[in-house]
C-alpha cells in the first residue's frame, strides 16, 4: 500500500508541473503513467525484476475505490457550481437535449452493431454503453458556464441520471432474470425518490447550521471533516437504495451551493478532487494492453473512429437543430464524442448478465480507454473546428497595444460600465462567452469580442499584461472568485474590481484578491435610501455625503471580513493571508 501511494504521489508530482509547463492537460500524463506502471506495462515484469515493485502498482484493483471517490468528488464540486434555480432553468436541455442525445446515439449504435452480427440484446447493451460521455474528463475541460460547458453539462447530467435504470434493464434482459430485474428497478426508483426527498429536506435544515458551527471554530480541519461527512453521507444514502452514489454527491453539492459557505467548501475540496481524479485516470491507463491493441490494431482503430465520428455528428446536429450556434454545436459535438468511465460500468453489467462475451467486453473496454485518452486532443480539435465554421469577432489591430480596461461580461452591468468608460474617454474592451450577447453588444456599438475568460489565452489576447484594470460583471459567484484568484496570482499589481452577489460573496472576493468588490444588495439599498431621503425633503448635498460615508463604512467592514490589509497606494491592493 505504501509503495502504491508513493507511485501515485510521485506521478502527481511529476505529471502536473511538467505537463502544465508545456500547456498540455495532465489527463494524458496520468493515463500514460497508468500504462507504464500497470499490469500490462512495467507491472507485468515484477516477477522477473522484483525491484520494479517499488515503482509500479502492486494492487490495481485496490485503486478502484479511490477512482470512484474521485468521480464522486467531481460531481460534488459540479453541484457547488450550480444551484436549484439554475438546474431548473436547464430542465429543457437536461431532459430534452440530454434524452435525445442518449436515446438516438444508443439506438443507432445498437442497430449498427446488430447489422454487424451482434445479437440484438448485446447490441443494445453495447450501443447504450458507448453512448455515454465522460463526466470526469469533459467538464474539467469545458467548465459549466460557457455555451459549450452548459450544453455538455445538460447531456452529462441526464446520462448520470440514467446509469441506474440502464444497468437494471440490462439485468432484466439476462436469461431467467426478467421479473427480478424489473421488480428491482421499481423498488429502487421509489426508494431512491424517497431518499432524495429526505436529503433535500434535511439538507436545507441542517447544512447551514453544520457549516456555521464549523466556521465559528475557525478550524480548517473541522470544515474539511464536515464537507467530507456531507458528501460521503449523501453518496452512501443513495447507494444504499440502489441509486448511483454520484446522485447523492450532486445533491450534496447543490444543497451546499445554496449556503454562504460554498466557496470555502470548494476551495478545501479542490486538492482532494484533483488527486482522486488523477487516480481514476491512472486506472484507465492500467486497463490499456498495448500488445492486444497491436494485435488488433485495424479493428480497434476502425471502432474508435466509428464511435467518435458518429457521436460527434449526432450531438452537433442535435445542438444545431435546438438553436445552438454553429461554433458551439461543432465544439460540443467533438468534445462529447469519446466514450465514458460509465461505459466501463455498463460493459461490466452487460458481461455479468451474459449479454456479451468476455472477448467482446475486453475489445470495447480498450476502445473506451483509447477514447478517454484522446478526449483532451478532441477538445483542442473541437476548438479549431469551431473557429473554422464560425470565426470569432476580432479586435481591431489598432486597439491591441493600448492600455485599457477589460470588462469580463457583456450583459447589462458590463454594458453600463462600458458606457461610463466611454463617457470619460477611457478605452475598454468587453469579453463574453455568450455569442448572442456579443452580437447584441456589437450591434449597439460596444467594443466587444467573443471568448471564455476562464481559458488562459483569452485575456492574454486582449492585452491583460498591460491593462489598466479588469472588471468582473458576471453573476456567477464561483467563477468570479476563481477568476479573481487566477488574476491575482498571475498579475499581482492589477486593479481588479468585481461584482458581488451579496456582502458574504464580497468578503470572499476580497480574500481571493479583489481590489474592490461591490455587492449588488448594498448598492441597491443605498440607492433606495438616497431616493427616499431626497423625496421626503432632505437636501441633496447632505444625502450624497451620507451615502458616500455609509458606502466607505461598509467597504471597510467587508475588507476586514475578507482579511484584506490595504496599504496606501495609487491603484492596487496587497492581499495578506
Q: Helices 120-131 and 358-389 sit at what angle, rounded to 10 degrees?
A: 40
**pLDDT value for 2:** 67
What pLDDT shows up at residue 556? 72
- Of the spans 289-298, 306-315, 335-344, which averages the highest pLDDT? 306-315
Question: Which cell is 449 given?
Answer: 469580442
Helix (H, G, I), strand (E, B) or coil at 55: coil
Task: Let me know whether 431 and 382 are in one domain.
Answer: no
Helices (H), ranges, 173-219? 178-216
User: 277 exposed, middle or buried (CB, 10 Å; 0-12, 13-18, 19+)?
Assistant: buried
24 and 156 share one domain:
no
What would the mean pLDDT of 403-425 be, rounded to a whole number? 84
Does 98 reside within a domain? yes
490 near 471, Cβ under 8 Å?
Answer: no
Residues 230 and 304 in one domain: yes
In a domain, 569, yes or no: no
Q: What is residue 457's predicted lDDT score, i.e. its pLDDT?
A: 67
411 and 382 in one domain? no
Residue 568 has a CB neighbour count (10 Å cut-off) of: 4
For the chain, how many residues are written? 577
In-domain check, residue 568: no
State the pLDDT at residue 566. 44
Alpha-carbon gap, residue 341 to 8, rounded angstroms: 20
Q: Give the residue-averaged pLDDT of 448-470.
A: 79
At 104 the pLDDT is 92
* Boundary (domain end) residue, out of 361, 389, 417: 389
Question: Same domain for 358 and 285?
Answer: yes
Confidence class for position 310, pLDDT limits 50, 70, 90: very high
Q: H or E element: which one contains 437?
A: helix 435-443
Query: For the segment 94-119, what is each residue's pLDDT rounded down to a tens digit?
Result: 888 888 999 999 999 999 998 888 88
Is the residue at 529 inside a domain? yes
- pLDDT attached to residue 559: 64
- pLDDT-derived band at 391, boundaries 50, 70, 90: low
Share of the chain above pLDDT 90, in %: 6
- 92 CB-near residues (< 8 Å, 6+ apart): none
Residue 476's CB: how many other CB atoms inside 10 A?
A: 18
Maximum pairwise Cα distance, the chain: 93
**Which of 137, 130, 164, 162 minimizes the C-alpha distance to 152?**
137
For the segment 335-377, what is each residue's pLDDT rounded down to a tens digit?
A: 999 888 778 778 877 876 778 888 888 888 888 888 888 888 8
Q: How far apart are the first and last CA of the chain?
A: 36
| Whole-number Å distance between alpha carbons of 364 and 357 | 11
pLDDT score, position 8: 74
Q: Is residue 471 part of a domain?
A: yes
Q: What are phi and psi of 12, to 5 degrees?
A: -65, -40
Instruction: Give a yes or no: residue 461 inside a domain.
Output: yes
Same domain? For 19 and 83 the reply is no
Determine the pLDDT at residue 528. Answer: 65
pLDDT, position 575: 32
* Angle value at C-alpha 363, between 358 and 368, nearest 5 degrees: 120
pLDDT value at residue 526: 60
With cut-offs at 50, 70 and 90, classify the pLDDT of residue 545.
confident
At 309 the pLDDT is 93
Do 46 and 118 sit in the same domain of this protein? no
* Whether residue 123 is found in the same domain as residue 261: yes
Distances (CA, A) of 531 to 236, 417, 523: 53, 22, 12
Q: Do 35 and 177 reside in the same domain of the chain? A: no
Greatest mean pLDDT among 16-25, 299-308, 444-453, 483-492? 299-308
Same domain, 278 and 187: yes
Given a contact cutoff of 8 angstroms between Cβ atoms, the answer to whether 398 and 372 are in contact is no
0.75 exceeded by the pTM? no
Q: Which three cell numbers stand for residue 51?
A: 525491484
Grid cell locating 49: 525484476
3-class SS of residue 515:
coil
Q: Copy the grid coordinates of residue 490.
A: 498571475
- Region of 538 (left: φ > 0; alpha: ψ -120 to 50; beta: rest) is beta
pLDDT band at 400 (very low <50, low <70, confident <90, very high): very low
* pLDDT over 50 at 474, yes or no: yes
What pLDDT score was predicted for residue 108? 92
Residue 188 belongs to domain with CATH number? 1.20.1530.20
Which percentage of the chain shows pLDDT scores above 70?
Answer: 82
Q: Enter the C-alpha cell of residue 54.
A: 517499488
Does the residue 320 lie in any domain? yes
The total domain count for the chain is 3
Q: What is the pLDDT of residues 139-173, one digit of tens each?
A: 777 776 677 888 888 888 888 778 767 776 776 67
Same domain? 35 vs 76: no
Q: Could you please report the per-residue DSSP string of 338-363?
A: S--HHHHHHHHHHHHTTSS-HHHHHH
Average pLDDT across the chain, whole number:
78
pLDDT value of position 574: 34
Residue range of the domain that includes 385: 59-389
395 against 213, higher pLDDT: 213
Same domain, yes or no: 529 and 436: yes
Stretch among 55-59, 64-68, 175-179 having the lowest mean pLDDT: 175-179
Confidence of residue 306 (pLDDT cuts 50, 70, 90): very high
**Residue 570 domain-assigned (yes or no):** no
Residue 164 contacts residue 170 (beta carbons within 8 Å): no
Amino acid at each position: 500500500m505504501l509503495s502504491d501511494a508513493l507511485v501515485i504521489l510521485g506521478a502527481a508530482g511529476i505529471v502536473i508541473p511538467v505537463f502544465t509547463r508545456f500547456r498540455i492537460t495532465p489527463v494524458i500524463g496520468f493515463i500514460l503513467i497508468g500504462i507504464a506502471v500497470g499490469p500490462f506495462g512495467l507491472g507485468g515484469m515484477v516477477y522477473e525484476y522484483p525491484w520494479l515493485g517499488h515503482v509500479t502498482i502492486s494492487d490495481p484493483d485496490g485503486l478502484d475505490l479511490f477512482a470512484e471517490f474521485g468521480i464522486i468528488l467531481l460531481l460534488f464540486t459540479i453541484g457547488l457550481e450550480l444551484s436549484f434555480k439554475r438546474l431548473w432553468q436547464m430542465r429543457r436541455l437536461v431532459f430534452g437535449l440530454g434524452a435525445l442525445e442518449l436515446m438516438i446515439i444508443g439506438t443507432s449504435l445498437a442497430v449498427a452493431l446488430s447489422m454487424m452480427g451482434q445479437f440484438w440484446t448485446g447490441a443494445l447493451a453495447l450501443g447504450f454503453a458507448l453512448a455515454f460521455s465522460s463526466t470526469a474528463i469533459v467538464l474539467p475541460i469545458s467548465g459549466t458556464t460557457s455555451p459549450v460547458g452548459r450544453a455538455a453539462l445538460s447531456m452529462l447530467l441526464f446520462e448520470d441520471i440514467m446509469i441506474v435504470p440502464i444497468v437494471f434493464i440490462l439485468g432484466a434482459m439476462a436469461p431467467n432474470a426478467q421479473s427480478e430485474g424489473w421488480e428491482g428497478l421499481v423498488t429502487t426508483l421509489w426508494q431512491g425518490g424517497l431518499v432524495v426527498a429526505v436529503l433535500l429536506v434535511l439538507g436545507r435544515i441542517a447544512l447551514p447550521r453544520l457549516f456555521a458551527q464549523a466556521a465559528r471554530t475557525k478550524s480548517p480541519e473541522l470544515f474539511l471533516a464536515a464537507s467530507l461527512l456531507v458528501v460521503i453521507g449523501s453518496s452512501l444514502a443513495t447507494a444504499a437504495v440502489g441509486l448511483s452514489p454520484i446522485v447523492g454527491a450532486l445533491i450534496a453539492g447543490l444543497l451546499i451551493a445554496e449556503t454562504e459557505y460554498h466557496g470555502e467548501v470548494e476551495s478545501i475540496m479542490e486538492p482532494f478532487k484533483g488527486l482522486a481524479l488523477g487516480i481514476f485516470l491512472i486506472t484507465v491507463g492500467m486497463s490499456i494492453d498495448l500488445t492486444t491493441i497491436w494485435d488488433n490494431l485495424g479493428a480497434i482503430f476502425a471502432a474508435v473512429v466509428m464511435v467518435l465520428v458518429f457521436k460527434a455528428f449526432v450531438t452537433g446536429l442535435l445542438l444545431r437543430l435546438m438553436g445552438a450556434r454553429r461554433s458551439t454545436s461543432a465544439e460540443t459535438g467533438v468534445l462529447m464524442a469519446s466514450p465514458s468511465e460509465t461505459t466501463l460500468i455498463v460493459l461490466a453489467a452487460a458481461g455479468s448478465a451474459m449479454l456479451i462475451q468476455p472477448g467482446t467486453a475486453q475489445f470495447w473496454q480498450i476502445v473506451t480507454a483509447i477514447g478517454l485518452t484522446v478526449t483532451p486532443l478532441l477538445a483542442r480539435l473541437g476548438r479549431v473546428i469551431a473557429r473554422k465554421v464560425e470565426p470569432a469577432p476580432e479586435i481591431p489591430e489598432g486597439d491591441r497595444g493600448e492600455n485599457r480596461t477589460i470588462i469580463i461580461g457583456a450583459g447589462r452591468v458590463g454594458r453600463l460600465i462600458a458606457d461610463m468608460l466611454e463617457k470619460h474617454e477611457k478605452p475598454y474592451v468587453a469579453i463574453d462567452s455568450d455569442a448572442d450577447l456579443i452580437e447584441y453588444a456589437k450591434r449597439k456599438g460596444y467594443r466587444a469580442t467573443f471568448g471564455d475568460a476562464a481559458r488562459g489565452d483569452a485575456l492574454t489576447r486582449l492585452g491583460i499584461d498591460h491593462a489598466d484594470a479588469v472588471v468582473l460583471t458576471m453573476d456567477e459567484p464561483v467563477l468570479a472568485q476563481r477568476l479573481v484568484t487566477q488574476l491575482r496570482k498571475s498579475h499581482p499589481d492589477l486593479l481588479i474590481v468585481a461584482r458581488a452577489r451579496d456582502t458574504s460573496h464580497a468578503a470572499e472576493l476580497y480574500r481571493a484578491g479583489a481590489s474592490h468588490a461591490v455587492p449588488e444588495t448594498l448598492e441597491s439599498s443605498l440607492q433606495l435610501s438616497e431616493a427616499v431621503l431626497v423625496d421626503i425633503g432632505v437636501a441633496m448635498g447632505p444625502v450624497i455625503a451620507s451615502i458616500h460615508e455609509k458606502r466607505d463604512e461598509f467597504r471597510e467592514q467587508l475588507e476586514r471580513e475578507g482579511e484584506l490589509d490595504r496599504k496606501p497606494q495609487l491603484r492596487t491592493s496587497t492581499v495578506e493571508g
